[in-house]
Amino acid sequence: QVHMVESGGGLVQAGGSLRLSCAVSGLSFSRYTMAWFHQAPGKEREFVGGISRSGGSTYYADSVKGRFTISRDNAKNTVYLQMNSLKPEDTAVYYCAADASVSITPHRHDYDVWGQGTQVTVSS
């Protein structure tokens, strides 16, 4: 059974930082492209960024470029999202997702497995 558990969310002031983690079990982690999405109340789930199987390639939404960094540790079956210079508009539930295909895709329907989400709230 596959488990993906996000952690690290919380309340932070604008300009602050958080580091999210997603621990994965039950699948061959290094064979999956990983991504982070977020979903604000009343809005659709949106792509934040993704990382290739090896970690050698990353791809970010324009709204987070230069502020967020995705990394992974295949030995620990964990993917990370470092969020800096946080803004109130970053407030959302953040989800990690796994895709068995080779390329990084921003389309949520391409992802096979999802975590339960972790809340990030940025106060102004």
Which pair of structure tokens corresponds to residue 83?
Answer: 């969020």
> Which regions of the chain are under pLDDT 50?
none
- Which pLDDT score, from 0 to 100, does residue 65 have? 98
Sign, CA torsion 4/114/103/27: positive
Q: Cβ contacts of residue 18 below 8 Å, gap of 6+?
A: 8, 9, 10, 12, 83, 86, 120
- Which pLDDT score, from 0 to 100, does residue 82 have? 98
Residue 118, amino acid: T
- Which pLDDT score, from 0 to 100, does residue 56 have? 96
Q: What is the pLDDT of residues 9-28, one digit of tens each?
A: 999 999 999 999 999 999 99
